[in-house]
Structures are given as structure tokens and as C-alpha cells.
Amino acid sequence: MLKAVLKFIWQYFKKLDKQLFIVVGICSLFSIVLIYSIVHNGLISYLTTSEYKKQLVAVFIGMAGAMVLSALDYRKFVKLWFLYGPACLILSLLLFTPLGFGREGSNNVNWLDIGFMSIQPSEFLKLAFILTFAYHLSKVDDRINQPIQLLLLLVHAAVPMGIIFIQNDYGTVLVFTAIVAVMVFAAGISYKYIVAVLVTLPALFAAAWFFVLGPTHKNRILVLFNPDLDTTAGDQQAAGKIALGSGQLFGKGLFGGEYYYVPDAHNDFIFSYIGQALGFVGCMVTVGLLCYICIKILVNAHIADDNLGKYICMGVFALMLIHCFVNIGMVLGVMPVIGVPLPFISDGGTAMVSMYIAIGFVMSVYSHSDRGYAVFYDKS
């Protein structure tokens, strides 16, 4: 019995994507250090020592979930879409009940109060969507360019995106859009459809500007072109850029420095705190780690045994990439402030656990692939 257990453990760790798991672990532990530093320095008055402790718990839960998922065959758990798909949709719909609430100063209703804790259903809806959409694409396969199949795929995407849109969570809508675009591109959608979308983008943006976006969201875009515009988002971005540059090359250190106050420095604007605490070098190391995660996910997509595994990896890649791009862009003042956290770095238990689950999907594809890889060639 003991011999069988030891053999199972050995085989499990032999197939585990150790490189990806270690780098993700480094990022999440770095997150805990940053949050502890922010609390210790009293940078944000309402944060207490429980903040980094909650983040630590979320990291351990996420790690455990990712390791369990990596041991399961993605081909089997993806077929349970009729369980996790409706469950995530129901959680999202509960936001329209008295259980749903938004952050102070925000018109988004994207948090769910379940008594002992609060969660963001949209984080889990993204994961359910990646799995169900990947499964849908794998069934369509080379028929993707048939109009009826494209229409069904669009309906599939429109359901969760519509729910999120009604909640005024336009940042998450942007994330969904990126996931859909990358996954259908990986599935081989015809270039004529891509060109058609690009041609209609100006008209779509104009329609959104005049008929969809409210004054708050319009100001978040306008402030990118007019920094002197008097908006809360503009003030936050201005403070973030000052803080980011104040660290210069090596930063002020994690403890004991004189830091600029930036709203949400522990969350959506944590990259600005990295800049002032660890300087340009710290920022580049952080970007390097996140780039490695994205590239490693792409590699796992390349070595996947089937299209289902490839589509799952591509969906997670899009999720990570758009989060990194938008979050860092918000701090640099080239993207509007739309509440998108930095993967494995920003404070937030739901976001941390959901990102680890996404990595668990990718690790499952890796563990159940018969193909290995080297840097420049495949191993059979």
C-alpha cells in the first residue's frame, strides 16, 4: 500500500509543470510581502494585519486547488460543464439580489455577500467560460467558419458577457472580449471575419460612447488625453505615476521609506507601489516573471495533445495577458481605470484563487500531454 502511494506521488511530481508552478508561487508570495509592507508602513489607513493573512490563506487554497486540478484529466472535468457552468451563472445572477453590492465610490455591482465572506462571481465565471468555450470550439473544430457555427459561438459568449455588462463591470467585459478573440483565432477563424470586425470597430466604439457609457466611464477615457481633467480616476492615475517614478532605479525599500499615497495601492495600483518601493529594477523583475508565465502557458498550448487542451491554454493565456496589459497600462496612464487586478500580485482572495485555478487548468493539460518540449524543438 505504502509503495503504491509513493509511486503515485512520484509519478504525480514527475508530470507536474514544476517551472510554471514555482514562478506563480514566487509571484503570489511576493504579493504577500508587498501587502505586509503596505500595512506595516501604514500607507493605507484602513488596512490591518488581517489583510496579508487573508491573502496568505487565499494563496494556499489556490495552490492546493491548482495541484488537485493538475492531477485530474482536463478531458473529463471539462465535460462537467452542466454543473459548473450553471452554478457560475447563478452566482452572477445573485448579484441582482440584495446580496450583491459594489465598492464604495463605484457604480459596479460585482461583489456577492455570502455571510462569512464576500466573493466576485465574475472571476469564476471567466474560468467556467474558458472551459465551456474551449469544449464548444473543440466540437465545432474545422466547421468554425460556417455562419451558423459562428452565430452559436457568439451566443455562447454573449450570455456571460451580457450579465457582466448589465452589472456595469466594463473591465471584465473587456477581459471576456480578449479571451473570445484569442480563442477563436487559435481555432482558425477566417481572416475575412477578422477584417470585418476591425472595420466595424470604430462604429461599435461610437455606439458605445453615445448610447452605453455613462459620464464616469467617459471621463476615465478622456483623462488619458487630458490629464488636467478633474476626475477621481485622473487623480488616482496621476498619483500612481508619481509614485511609480519616485522609486527611480532601485526604489526606497519595502520598509521605512517616505511613500506617496495612492488609492488602491494594495490592489489595482499595486504596480505603482512596486515602483516606489523597489524601483525600475523591481518593476522589470515583476514584468519578467509575468511574461514568463504567459510564455509558458503558450508553450503548454503548443504541446497539448488535442485541440481542447490547446484552446484551454489559449483562453488562460488571454486571461493573464489582458489582465497584465490593462493593469500596468492603468498605472502608466495609457489605459482607463477599470478595476482589473494584476495576476498573482494584487490583493484579493477571489482573484488569487481564481488565477490559481486557471493555472491548474494549464497544468492539467501539461500533465496529461504525451509530448514534451525543449526550448527550440519538440520531444517525442
Tens digit of each residue's pLDDT (9 = 90 or more) over 337-356: 888 999 999 999 999 999 99
Q: How sure is the predictor about 371, in pLDDT bands with cuts at 50, 70 and 90?
A: low
- Contact by Cβ (8 Å): 280, 249: yes
Strand pairing partners for 113?
Answer: 118
pLDDT given for residue 230 in this prediction: 54
pTM of the model as a whole: 0.92
Give the pLDDT mean for 80-91: 93
Residue-wise pLDDT tens digits, 170-199: 889 999 999 999 999 999 999 999 998 888
pLDDT given for residue 48 in this prediction: 86
272: pLDDT strictly greater than 90: yes
In angstroms, the Cα distances linking 126 to 92, 260, 289 are: 11, 34, 23
d(CA 364, CA 372): 14
226: pLDDT strictly greater than 70: no
269: pLDDT strictly greater than 90: yes
d(CA 107, CA 77): 36
pLDDT given for residue 374 in this prediction: 43
233: pLDDT strictly greater than 50: yes
Residue of higher predicted confidence among 203 and 278: 278
107: pLDDT strictly greater than 70: no
Q: How sure is the predictor about 252, in pLDDT bands with cuts at 50, 70 and 90?
A: very high
